Amino acid sequence: MGKPTGFMEITRKDAPAISPAERVGDWSEFGIRLPDSELQQQGARCMDCGIPFCQTGSTTGSGKALGCPVYNLIPEWNDLVYRGKWREALNRLHKTNNFPEFTGRVCPAPCEGSCVLGLIDKPVAIKSIEQAIIDKGFEEGWVVPQPPDRRTGRKIAVVGSGPAGLAAAAQLNKAGHWVTVYERADRIGGLLMYGIPNMKLEKGVVERRVKLLEAEGITFVTGTEVGKDLSADELRQNFDAIVLAGGATKPRDLPIEGREAEGVYFAMEYLHADTKSLLDSSHADGKFISAKDKHVIVIGGGDTGTDCVGTAMRHGCATVTQFEIMAKPPEDRAENNPWPEWPGIYKLDYGQEEARAKFGDDPRQYEVMTKKFATDKKGRVKELHTVQIRWVIGEDGRMKPEEVEGSARVWKADIVLLAMGFTGPENPLLTAFGVEQDGRSNVRARYGDFSTNVEGVFAAGDMRRGQSLVVWAINEGRAVAEAVDKWVMR
């Protein structure tokens, strides 16, 4: 622990950002790194707690997250940063996390929710420090390919190149196995590439890591859908083990009157096309759904919805509104959401900040239920019909929505984006391998050994646990690699 009194003397300082009004003018990341001296001060706020809840990576009985899912050695690297030992800090960080440049940018930071200092003050700025360590590492040229010294001769196929597939590939390659990653999209990265928008995670950051992995000996094959372009049998014949890391991107639909209207899209149709067009041609090819001068309604108040808001803002939408079915969260932790659980409190994420800067208010409308899409004569969406709801306890003791009488409302809409979450993995890949699914339609494979009902076929990431977080995908990728290594070397 660098400075025993640091937490009493130094206040938290977050990394600054380009103002919301200015940053919507382009698609670049908008965070600004604090100077080294200030980051060192922030590291000094860490108390090196006897029990560092920040790095526990577990869940409570009620399923709430506690601490870092990849067990980052947070107090250790906070101390090293405080002492100016950035390179050692980077080595500590890479011990637990293959891709801190991703988590440092997009992780919601459950570590900070569990920071002991958070009990009496603002938590340590862990996420900003993590990003600074790795960004500095790249700038200084400390992050270089590290191919394994020897090869085992075993061959592993990884299906899907999101953070779970990439982490599994990185670890298996490190163990000396020959790894080939198959990806159906034209670029590697899964939702890091074609889900999370560029302003949150610049795609050059993803490509930089992929180049390193390639230089370490991993083979990447894009534009190949396993189960369609390449059969499951072929893969099983040519590889000693297979890791399925295809994600969970089957979108939840809203089958109400008018759903077939033109102008109603799934969020991922909007986000994927936008990033692809941005990367292919800086949007010059026009192969994206433009929200310019349009009235946009996003149904769904989560992260995907926020990314739709941020994207629509950059297109220059006329208005943007975001519907959330749940009640507005409290400003402070609720009694049933104590530290060190992830705090379910109200916050303005980047997209909402940007909408507020332009239109004057948080675009979210809470406890709104959409009843109907109304169309014009050409079948294009023109309005959304909603009611206000309230949450009440039903006869079975569970919360259920109840419509508020007289609350019907009509909203003007040219584009509607459905961002209501995901119901599980897409089936063709699973059918091709004959793997069993659980009650939530995810691949049935126990955490720890990750094996499916098909011998030699393993599953990890969202495909196994359901739509989650990048940091959990990295956790699962690392853990499945350990299980596969044991299996192929048995």
Give the footprint of ligand FAD on this chain (CB under 6 A): 106-107, 159-165, 182-185, 190-191, 195-196, 225-227, 245-247, 249, 271, 303-304, 307, 429, 461-463, 467-471, 473
How many Å apart are CA 295 and CA 312, to the nearest integer?
10
Shortest distance, position 479 Cβ to ligand FAD, whole Å: 12
Shortest distance, position 314 Cβ to ligand FAD, whole Å: 15
Which of 43, 165 has the CB closer to ligand FAD? Answer: 165
Which of 195, 340 has the CB closer to ligand FAD? Answer: 195
Would you say 386 and 411 are in contact if contact means Cβ atoms under 8 Å apart? yes
Which of 82, 350 has the CB closer to ligand FAD? Answer: 350
How many Å apart are CA 461 and CA 183, to the nearest integer?
15
Which of 65, 389 has the CB closer to ligand FAD? Answer: 65
In terms of Cα–Cα distance, which of 209, 284, 255 is closest to 371? 255
Separation of first and last alpha carbons in the chain: 42
Shortest distance, position 477 Cβ to ligand FAD, whole Å: 7
Which of 135, 383 has the CB closer to ligand FAD? Answer: 135
Which of 45, 364 has the CB closer to ligand FAD? Answer: 364
Q: What is the DSSP letter of 390?
A: E
Would you say 444 and 453 are in contact if contact means Cβ atoms under 8 Å apart? yes
How many Å apart are CA 427 and CA 20, to the nearest integer?
40
Which of 15, 374 has the CB closer to ligand FAD? Answer: 15
Residue 249, amino acid = T
Which of 96, 249 has the CB closer to ligand FAD? Answer: 249
Shortest distance, position 481 Cβ to ligand FAD, whole Å: 13
Which of 125, 459 has the CB closer to ligand FAD? Answer: 459
Which of 86, 270 has the CB closer to ligand FAD? Answer: 270
| Maximum Cα–Cα distance across the chain | 71
Shortest distance, position 111 Cβ to ligand FAD, whole Å: 12
Which of 368, 417 has the CB closer to ligand FAD? Answer: 417
Would you say 307 and 296 are in contact if contact means Cβ atoms under 8 Å apart? no
Shortest distance, position 73 Cβ to ligand FAD, whole Å: 20
Place of tokens 């094959």: 221
In terms of Cα–Cα distance, which of 5, 35, 225 is closest to 132? 35
Residue 375, amino acid = T
H helix count then E strand count, the chain? 18, 18
How many Å apart are CA 299 and CA 329, to the nearest integer?
17
> Would you call the peptide bond into 110 cis, given omega within 30 degrees of 0 as the criterion?
no
DSSP 193-254: HHTS-TTTS-HHHHHHHHHHHHHTT-EEE-S--BTTTB-HHHHHHH-SEEEE-----EEPP-
Shortest distance, position 249 Cβ to ligand FAD, whole Å: 6
Would you say 384 and 47 are in contact if contact means Cβ atoms under 8 Å apart? no
Residue 144, amino acid = V
Q: How many C-alpha atoms does 392 have within 13 Å on its Cβ side? A: 8
Rg value, the chain, Cα: 23
How many Å apart are CA 349 and CA 414, to the nearest integer?
24
